[in-house]
Amino acid sequence: MLEVKDLKVSYGAVQALDGISLTVNDGEIVSLIGANGAGKTTALRTITGLEKASAGSIVFDGQDLRKTDPSRIISLKLAHVPEGRHIFPEMTVEENLEMGAYADPAGMAGTMQNVYTRFPRLKERRRQLAGTLSGGEQQMLAVGRALMAKPKMILMDEPSMGLSPLLVQEIFDIIGEVNRQGITILLVEQNARMALSISDRAYVLETGRITIQGKAGDLLNDERVKRAYLGQ
């Protein structure tokens, strides 16, 4: 569904991605793990056109994303839950959800009901300003807003960041459930153990290069991964 080949991105003199290749097949959860500054966010932002690549290719569902205007990417059914949530704080929960459906508003009421069924907390707070939600609630809203686009695939950037252990578990449960309903997921996480436990496959990114890749279960038992990312 997504194929990235030899992708290079630099910010001035900083080579943030130095030729990464990865694939995500239809129906999979694939995680991209790595330390601070490894280039994870850059990878997701480049896939959705928010950063410009200097080389390489990005093909999603047969479309060349490097030639696609970033504003059209959501119409291709590729959604992005960015790092740090980026909800609209001065809008209500419901207005934020409506924004998620802007590219394809048909059937919005039904989609919203599905989101409210999955996140009852958002339904309770639908008239509340999003900026007054707790961190965990804002994260749920960011995921809910992505679902409003009826995506085939979601790119998620550190959905567990800043959440309490109980909420971390809840957000990973939700990711698993969204995937079981047919949505392909590329997950960026520093919480490597949780990410690997729900993923089919994973890639380890170290300073702009993929250094380890494989089945998530194999990576959980890989000595290098254990030492560097699982604290064992």
Ligand X SMILES: Nc1ncnc2c1ncn2[C@@H]1O[C@H](COP(=O)(O)OP(=O)(O)OP(=O)(O)O)[C@@H](O)[C@H]1O
Task: Please state the closest distance from residue 84 (CB atom) to Mg ion, in A.
Answer: 9
Q: Which amino acid is at 200?
A: D
Backbone dihedral region for residue 85 (phi beyond 0: left; psi -120 to 50: alpha; all else: beta) = left
Please say which residue, 45 or 150, places its beta carbon nearer to ligand X: 45
Query: Which residues have CB under 8 Å from 171's CB, separation 6+?
Result: 136, 139, 140, 143, 159, 160, 163
How many other CB atoms sit within 10 Å of the CB of residue 163?
Answer: 20
Q: What is the dihedral of CA 117, 122, 124, 126, to 10 degrees?
A: -120
Does residue 41 bind Mg ion (CB under 5 A)?
Answer: yes
Which segment (12-20, 37-45, 190-198, 220-228) binds Mg ion by CB under 5 A? Answer: 37-45
Binding site for ligand X (CB under 6 A): 11, 14, 16, 34, 36-42, 83, 190
> Which partner in Mg ion, ligand X, none is near 136 (CB below 5 to 8 A by kind)?
none
Choose between 45 and 77: whose C-beta lies nearer to Mg ion: 45
Q: Which of residues 75-134 bind Mg ion (CB under 5 A)?
A: 83
Total residues at the site for Mg ion (CB under 5 A)?
3
Distance (Å) of CA 171 to CA 22, 46, 69, 136, 218: 24, 25, 31, 9, 23
Binds 36, which of ligand X, Mg ion, none (CB < 5 to 8 A, cut-off by type)? Answer: ligand X
Q: Which is nearer to ligand X, 41 or 184 (CB)?
A: 41
User: Do 130 and 91 touch, CB atoms closer than 8 A?
Assistant: yes
119 versus 203: smaller Cβ distance to Mg ion = 203
Return residues touching Mg ion (CB under 5 A).
40-41, 83
